[in-house]
Amino acid sequence: MKIHILYNFQSGPWGGGNQFLRALKNEFEIRDVYEKNLEKANIILFNSYPFGFEWVFNDIIKLKQKNPEKIIIYRLNGPIFLIRGKDKEVDKIIKLFNDLFVDGIVFQSNWCKEQNKKLFRISSKYETVIYNAPDNEIFNREGKKEFNPDRKIKLIATSWSSNWRKGFEIYKFLDENLDFSKYKMTFVGNSPIEFKNIKWIKPVPPEKLARILKEHDIYITASQNDPCSNALIEALSCGLPVVALNDGGHPELVQKGGELFRGKEDIIEKIEKVAKNYQYYQSQIPEFSIRKVVQEYYKFAKKIYQDVQDGKYFLKKVDYLAKINFYKMKLMILKWKIKNKIEAIKRKL
């Protein structure tokens, strides 16, 4: 049984999902279960919504028409509407795509699963929850600087996206209210604001990001409705205790490896609590192993594949009704893109 990841991989600094899928692909290749040729694979892993690369939807219907025996597994995050604070149309497109083609869903967290079901009734006969994991060759504790309470405590936050909902209201608050005689803070990534006291480093490749993380003590994340933050997982894997907004999938990931905060009223208090009990929180950091994640993905795919072989599950077919709904989905995509372009023009004017 071979797996193909239908995704437009990007090199260099990019979003966390891209980095996770690259690590997943690499581990599949090491185990000799990855198939580069889409048509030769038994399992097609499709990732969420392909922003900017909507042509991959066409690849799926063409593939299923030509090779109806292909199994489609959805790696689903979101809901997009909760992450972005807009674009509910995208979740509706995801719902329709799921109903038409998908045989199994990998939700990235329990929160992700619950919200997708609650808000958009997205489900499948085969479902599982598998957290993300980093490339452990890069994001690990090797070379992690020892914590020294007698010097300034080093805080760090990261984000590829500059969306305000990624926590920038809180980062702005820390920039203006943190005691910088006691703390240093670094932000790595794209930001919609200029910082006065926080050191800002533009996006860097994963290897350099890992080195920067290991030079710091505590990781801060204030992203809202984040289903399974790859940035958070990378920091935990580098040995950094976390202070995270009590929202989305953060509690599931942090567990006892840090503290959760509600907002501006208690974040500094939680930072001080972690700093005072640093060794305890660091000892409680959960493990995120890409090797274990790969085993879980393969086991899930194997279950569906075996049920198909045994006649226990019949794959979805591209019949006349499915074709009509597919073109309905493409029309939804077109309307959403036109709407976004009009809104962008209005903002410029």
Angstrom distances, CA of residue 216 to CA of 135, 220, 240, 302: 19, 11, 8, 41
Q: How confident is the model at residue 130 (pLDDT cuts 50, 70, 90)?
A: very high
Place of tokens 């992450």: 83
pLDDT (average), residues 34-39: 93
**For residue 68, is pLDDT > 80?**
yes
The whole-number average pLDDT for the span 208-217 is: 96
Q: Among the ranges 44-48, 164-168, 239-243, 334-338, which has the highest mean pLDDT value?
A: 239-243
| Amino acid 348: pLDDT | 77
Q: What is the pLDDT of residues 315-324, one digit of tens each?
A: 999 999 999 9
On the question of pLDDT at 153 being above 70, the answer is yes
What does pLDDT average to over the chain? 94
- In the prediction, which pLDDT does 18 show? 83
- At 12, the pLDDT band (50, 70, 90 cuts) reads low
For each of the domains in the chain, give its residue range(s) and CATH number, in order of start: 3-133+290-348 (3.40.50), 153-283 (3.40.50.2000)
Q: Is the pLDDT of residue 344 over 90?
A: no
Task: Indicate the pLDDT class of residue 19, thresholds 50, 70 and 90.
Answer: confident
Alpha carbons 304 and 315: distance in angstroms, whole number: 10
Least trusted range by pLDDT, from 54-58, 72-76, 243-247, 302-306? 54-58
User: Packing angle between helix 88-101 and helix 320-348, nearest 10 degrees?
Assistant: 160
Residue 15 has pLDDT above 80, yes or no: no
pLDDT on residue 13: 62
